[in-house]
Amino acid sequence: MKILSVVGLCEILSRMGSELFFQQALRHLENDFSNWRHFKKSPRHATLYPFGVIELMPCSDDEFYTFKYVNGHPRNTKQGKMCVVAFGMLSDVQTGYPLLLSEMTLLTAIRSAAVTALGAKYLARSNSCHLAIIGTGAQSEFQCLMLRQQFPLTKLSYYDLDKQAMNKFENNMRGKNIFLQACDSIEATVGDADIIVTATAAKSGNDLIRPEWLKKGVHIHAMGGDCPGKTELGRAVLKNCKIVVEYAEQSLDEGEMQQMQTTDLYGELWELVSGALPGRENDQETTLLDAVGFALEDFSILKLVHELTEHPDYSDICVNSAIIPDLSDPKNLYSLISQIEANHRKRL
């Protein structure tokens, strides 16, 4: 089994350039969403604790099976740890044999930003130039850089309760030819924005935005609320939005949609991507992608990484580890033990 560490992934990004990697991630994602019907899908398996969640997110087509392990522990940062870490695996459907184990903390940030860009491609005004970010945690820079692939962004306003996180964000985004506006309230941050991303570590039912703060025609991408009981927006905002989700069966349990009826849902993202449903229809409507994260997104980026690590340019980067036994007789698993016993007898 190939193992791709964080260091290995960064080496790939370094060799190909992170911009190109971001573009490829977005292209793969769009392609996979357009093939939605070919995938075996299910809501993720979540184990809930009072202080966090651990999830397994499987997805499969006829060729590959992938899953991601990911947690969500908002209190982790207080002890110097990340709120969200992840790893993933890709295996061969024909044999069930695992092929690649990969870091996915960084890949999750990248694929989540790709989802934002993909949704905004169909739901935001194409001339959107002002992006507002609520929550400048680990995800925030990736959101901006991926959205910049799709939109002529010139202005970035942002807000976080944690001033250190705001400073970190500003340092990372400086010199990227985009005007940075640190704000001291959510109202000031979103007031003039064309696209709003909410990426907070929502702990319960929040109500971050008042409807009267919003400009006509804004697109909101809400990604921080993603567990039963955790939401970022109130009904007052939601009821005026054209709401799109990734996968209704999961989002009705986990997303902003927890507060709404199924009939309030406009559609699933793949319907927009495949052309089955129109996305934005005029410059006046308020749109919302209620994003919770879906396993197909992990499939998509894991497959990209698998393809890259098979390519000669990057084939030296993975480490191989004997996680799966390689037996001369596949029914003789016990040979592993009999070898030990034979060595033991020799030593006596």
By CB under 8 A, tell whether 142 contacts its own copies.
yes
User: Which residue in the set 49, 261, 263, 312 belongs to the binding site for its own copies (CB under 8 A)?
Assistant: 49
Q: Name the one residue in this structure whose structure tokens are 């945690």.
A: 137
Interface with its own copies in residues 65-124 (CB under 8 A): 65, 67, 69, 71-73, 76-77, 79-83, 85, 87, 89, 91, 93-98, 101, 103, 105-106, 109
Whole-number Å distance between alpha carbons of 263 and 190: 28
Q: In the sheet where 265-268 sits, what is the strand order?
A: 179-182, 155-159, 130-134, 195-198, 219-222, 286-290, 241-245, 265-268
Q: How far is CA 36 from the centre of its chain?
A: 17
Residue ranges in 181-210 that form contacts with its own copies under rule CB under 8 A: none
Total number of residues that touch its own copies (CB under 8 A): 84
State the nearest-atom distance from the C-beta of 289 to its own copies, in Å: 22
Q: Among residues 160, 226, 290, 298, which one is catalytic?
A: 226
Nearer to its own copies, 10 or 129 (CB): 10
Give the amino acid at 24. Answer: Q
Helix (H, G, I), strand (E, B) or coil at 273: helix
CA angle 73, 318, 72 (to 5 degrees): 5
* 290: annotated active-site residue: no
Given the rule CB under 8 A, which of 157-165, 204-212, 283-291, 297-305 is the region that contacts its own copies?
Answer: 157-165
- DSSP secondary structure, 172-204, as one string: HHTTSSSEEEE-SSHHHHHTT-SEEEE-----S
Q: Whose Cβ is closer to its own copies: residue 176's or residue 210's? A: 176
Site track for its own copies across 8-47, x = CB under 8 A: --x--xx--xx---------------------x-x--x-x
The answer to whether 222 and 256 have CB atoms below 8 angstroms apart is yes
- 285-324 residues in contact with its own copies (CB under 8 A) are 319, 321-324
Shortest separation between residue 141's beta carbon and its own copies, angstroms: 4
Lookup: tokens for 122 = 């169909």
- Among 7, 20, 161, 236, the residue binding its own copies under the rule CB under 8 A is 7
Nearer to its own copies, 33 or 169 (CB): 169
- Which of 195, 197, 193, 186 is CA-nearest to residue 161? 186
Catalytic residue set = 226
